[in-house]
Structure 1
Amino acid sequence: MTPFEKTPGWLDWHPRPSKPRFRVPEGAVDAHCHVFGPGAEFPFAPERKYTPCDAGKEQLFALRDRLGFARNVIVQATCHGADNRALVDACQASGGRARGVATVRRSITDEELQQLHAAGVRGVRFNFVKRLVDFTPKDELMEIAARVATLGWHVVIYFEAADLPELWDFFTALPTTVVVDHMGRPDVSQPVDGPEFSLFLQFMRQHPNVWSKVSCPERLSLSGPPALHGEQHAYRDVVPFARRVIDEFPDRVLWGTDWPHPNLKGHMPDDGLLVDFIPHIAPTPELQHRLLVANPMRLYWPEEA
């Protein structure tokens, strides 16, 4: 694979996202998005599992403004490995309107951690999705978690629902706030009251330091995207799962676009329609404000919350 040869089947981000009908509350935060390169400026990691399209900070900030958001939380993409330069560059260019979630290795120095903090990083991400990353020993991850806890950072975990029983003990031993990406990727063909998703809800109930992102319906759905703008049943099979998490844990939920939607095949979502999905899972202004403003501000900008 050459440095700039995009992985076959990879879809570029939506070139003309619609203007959402749902108006997000003032100060809303897109709490899960990424930057990819540009590869000529910020090369992708040699050990990456995929080569994405370029999707830089200028495009991300233009999308932020079009959708009506005030801020972003940029999550380090696996294609960049532990080279956080693209992430740091975007945070520094944001004028304080972006925070970051980095990927770090055991070898990182305290000085380098402080530099990431000064740039706006407030968390680290541990990825357990086997098709995306190689296994990192849990003792190394636990050592990293202990070090970033002293900075007040949190740990973001990305895993698939079937792996939660195996990972439970490790997750519950983490010494930080823990944020789960995309509700642990539930199988939405199963009942919302079924054993798999009930275990995830039990995980959140028993551990009040655990938060969840109720994002990525386009990644979880089997029913697919809306045929028309504003359709009432877009990604309808995901709604009961996200509603359950928001209703039970309204102060521990976050939402994000996941732009530019890594590793999606089949369809590339219209980010405006993803915003229009929000009132289906957070139907009241109070829940919308918690999901989009109060919660992410408390986690990423506590000095302003």
Structure 2
Amino acid sequence: MSAADMEAPLCLPRRPLTRLPRAALPQGTVDTHFHVFRAGAPLNTPRSYTPDIATISDWIEFSGNLGIARGVLVQPSVYGLDNRVLLEALAAYPDRLRGIVVIDPETAETEIERLDRLGVRGVRINTRNKGGLPLAAARTLAESIAPLGWSLQLQINPEQLPDIAAPLSGIRLPIVIDHLGFIPLARETRSLHVDALKRLMDRAEAYVKVTAPYRLTKDVNYDGFAEVACALAASHAERLLWGSDWPHTELWDGMPDDTELVETMQAAIDDPAVAEKIFVRNAEALFFGR
């Protein structure tokens, strides 16, 4: 084991489901953000973490228990540009899954078209983890994938939110922000960050994943999450997406309960019409139109 591997600690294992949410998820719910890992698949070096193995079969069982109809599988940073585990999953469940890959910005058009046929619908930029693509790659990637209607998925820091629009000017494609842009939920700065997300969503085809509150606060009750979700839903319900963030990578000190996470989201968005958009319709239109 190399020194770099030793610096990538093993993630906590996911918690098993012990009960179902008190209220069922809307019929047709789409999980727009989860990862899978296969034993023996080569891991990137350097990387930010070493995953606990959670396979596509594990997610199929998980999603079936929760009533999740379909999913969007996101390439994790620990696999770098090697999308084989993701593509294996898409091949196994072509009607149920779509994928977000990580590719070299200079990838040939023929390869992008091949990935499209396999069910890929976007490319991920990740400035927060070792092995992720930088924001500087955004324009080149956007120019390559826009003709296919793919989205550009961004896992970035909140201070980078104002820097997104400029490099993509003149290119029309969906932009999707992971995990509320990692904005801190502290009351003192909450409204400023919410305003930044709203300004971004005012741009045509910009979406925000209302996901992973445990990445935004250390408060076990996720104080502030409901307020942020409600504020964004009041003005941009058609631009919000829900995802499980299963199996909750990069955690070493406490693992969230998936049922409680679903109920937290359900409590924040209690209007059935709005919930239908966030859990089902927005993701259907963005990822499953073909």
| Among 125, 141, 144, the residue aligned to 1:144 | 141
Q: Per the alignment, in what secondary structure is the counterpart of residue 246 of structure 2?
A: coil
In the other structure, the counterpart of 1:229 is none
In the other structure, the counterpart of 1:277 is 264
Q: Is the 8 A contact 2:127 2:135 kept in 1?
A: no
What is the distance in 2 between the residues matched to 1:54 and 1:185? Answer: 25
Aligned length: 289
Q: When the two structures are superposed, what TM-score results if normalisation uses the length of structure 1?
A: 0.87
Q: Is the 8 A contact 2:198 2:236 kept in 1?
A: no
Q: Is the 8 A contact 1:189 1:222 kept in 2?
A: no
Q: Per the alignment, in what secondary structure is the counterpart of residue 187 of structure 2?
A: coil
| Aligned partner letter, 1:302 | G
What is the CA-CA distance between 1:173 and the residue it aligns to?
5.6
| Aligned partner letter, 2:167 | F
| Among 194, 204, 207, the residue aligned to 1:208 | 204
Gapped runs of 5+ residues in structure 1? Answer: 225-233
What is the distance in 1 between the residues matched to 2:18 and 2:150? Answer: 33
| Aligned partner letter, 1:181 | D
Q: Is the 8 A contact 1:6 1:52 kept in 2?
A: no
In the other structure, the counterpart of 2:158 is 161
What is the CA-CA distance between 1:218 and the residue it aligns to?
1.8
The aligned runs of 1:164-179 (5 Å cut-off) are 164-170=161-167, 174-179=171-176
Q: Per the alignment, in what secondary structure is the counterpart of residue 194 of structure 1?
A: helix
What is the CA-CA distance between 1:124 and the residue it aligns to?
0.6
What is the distance in 1 between the residues matched to 2:166 and 2:210? Answer: 23
Are 1:251 and 2:238 matched, yes or no?
yes
Are 1:195 and 2:196 matched, yes or no?
no
My pick for the range that moved more, 16-25 or 276-285, is 16-25
Q: Per the alignment, in what secondary structure is the counterpart of residue 85 of structure 2?
A: helix
In the other structure, the counterpart of 1:228 is none
**Shift in CA distance, 137/271, structure 1 to aligned 2, threshold 3 Å:** closer
In the other structure, the counterpart of 1:81 is 80
In the other structure, the counterpart of 2:25 is 24
Gapped runs of 5+ residues in structure 2? Answer: none
Q: Per the alignment, in what secondary structure is the counterpart of residue 176 of structure 2?
A: strand
In the other structure, the counterpart of 1:106 is 105
In the other structure, the counterpart of 2:124 is 125
**Shift in CA distance, 293/116, structure 1 to aligned 2, threshold 3 Å:** same
What is the distance in 2 between the residues matched to 1:163 and 1:74? Answer: 24
What is the CA-CA distance between 1:266 and the residue it aligns to?
1.9
In the other structure, the counterpart of 2:180 is 183
What is the distance in 1 between the residues matched to 2:126 and 2:15? Answer: 25
Q: Is the 8 A contact 1:123 1:153 kept in 2?
A: yes
What is the distance in 2 between the residues matched to 1:196 and 1:188? Answer: 9
CA RMSD between the two structures = 2.3
What is the distance in 2 between the residues matched to 1:281 and 1:172? Answer: 34
Q: Deviations over 1:79-134 (max 9, x none)?
A: 011111111111111141011011110242222212211111101111122x4446
Q: Per the alignment, in what secondary structure is the counterpart of residue 233 of structure 2?
A: helix
In the other structure, the counterpart of 1:295 is 282
My pick for the range that moved more, 212-221 or 6-15, is 6-15
What is the distance in 2 between the residues matched to 1:268 and 1:145? Answer: 35
What is the distance in 2 between the residues matched to 1:174 and 1:281? Answer: 34
What is the distance in 1 between the residues matched to 2:132 and 2:20? Answer: 38
What is the CA-CA distance between 1:26 and the residue it aligns to?
1.0
What is the distance in 2 between the residues matched to 1:125 and 1:148? Answer: 11
What is the CA-CA distance between 1:237 and the residue it aligns to?
2.2
In the other structure, the counterpart of 1:72 is 71
Q: Per the alignment, in what secondary structure is the counterpart of residue 277 of structure 1?
A: helix
Report percent identity of matched pairs: 29
Q: Deviations over 1:218-246 (max 9, x none)?
A: 2113321xxxxxxxxx4232111111112
| Aligned partner letter, 1:291 | I
Q: Which has the higher helix share?
A: 2
**Shift in CA distance, 43/6, structure 1 to aligned 2, threshold 3 Å:** farther
**Shift in CA distance, 266/174, structure 1 to aligned 2, threshold 3 Å:** farther
What is the CA-CA distance between 1:160 and the residue it aligns to?
1.4
My pick for the range that moved more, 47-56 or 212-221, is 47-56
What is the distance in 1 between the residues matched to 2:94 and 2:138? Answer: 31
What is the distance in 2 between the residues matched to 1:175 and 1:62? Answer: 37
